[in-house]
Amino acid sequence: MTTLDDAWPADPWEGGWHCAAHRLESPNHGVRPEGGRGIDLIVVHSISLPPGEFGTGAVQQLFTNTLDWNAHPYYQGIRGLQVSAHFFIDRMGVPWQFVNCDLRAWHAGQSFYRGRAQCNDDSIGIELEGLEGLGFEAAQYQTLARLCQDIAQRYPIAHVAGHEHIAPGRKQDPGRGFDWAVLQKALDWPRHQFPPAAPSGTPPPH
Sign of CA dihedral 191, 205, 4, 127: negative
Q: For this structure, is 34 an active site residue?
A: no
**From the candidates 14, 25, 34, 127, which is the catalytic residue?**
127
Is 129 a residue that touches Zn ion (CB under 5 A)?
no
Cβ proximity to Zn ion, 146 vs 163, nearer residue = 163
Q: Which residues are 87's β-sheet partners?
A: 97, 126
- Indicate whether 165 belongs to the interface with Zn ion (CB under 5 A): no
Q: How far is the CB of 101 from Zn ion (least distance, A)?
A: 17
Cβ distance to Zn ion smaller for residue 122 or 173: 173
Q: By CB under 5 A, is residue 164 in contact with Zn ion?
A: no
Of 49, 163, 178, 189, the one binding Zn ion (CB under 5 A) is 163
Distance from CA of residue 35 to its chain's centroid? 21
**C-alpha span between 127 and 105 (Å, rounded):** 12
Stretch that binds Zn ion, among 3-11, 15-23, 29-37, 42-50 (CB under 5 A): 42-50
To the nearest whole angstrom, how small is the minimum distance from the Cβ of residue 163 to Zn ion? Answer: 3
Helix/strand/coil (H/E/C) assignment for every residue in the chain: CCCCCCCCCCCCEECCEECCCEECCCCCEECCCCCCCCCCEEEEEEECCCCCCCCCCHHHHHHCCCCCCCCCHHHHHHCCCCCCCCEEECCCCCEEECCCCCCEECCCCCCEECCEECHHHHEEEEEEECCCCCCCCHHHHHHHHHHHHHHHHHCCCCEEEEHHHHCCCCCCCCCCCCCHHHHHHHHCCCHHHCCCCCCCCCCCCC
Position 45 contacts Zn ion (CB under 5 A)? yes
Q: In the complex, what is the shortest distance from the CB of residue 50 to Zn ion, in angstroms, rounded to a whole number? A: 16
| Region from 62-70, 151-159, 163-171, 178-186 binding Zn ion, contact rule CB under 5 A | 163-171
Of 2-10, 139-147, 168-176, 189-197, the window that binds Zn ion (rule: CB under 5 A) is: 168-176
Q: Does 86 bind Zn ion (CB under 5 A)?
A: no
- Cβ distance to Zn ion smaller for residue 12 or 178: 178
| 173 touches Zn ion (CB under 5 A) | yes
The contact set with Zn ion (CB under 5 A) reads 45, 163, 173
Residue positions annotated with a catalytic role: 127
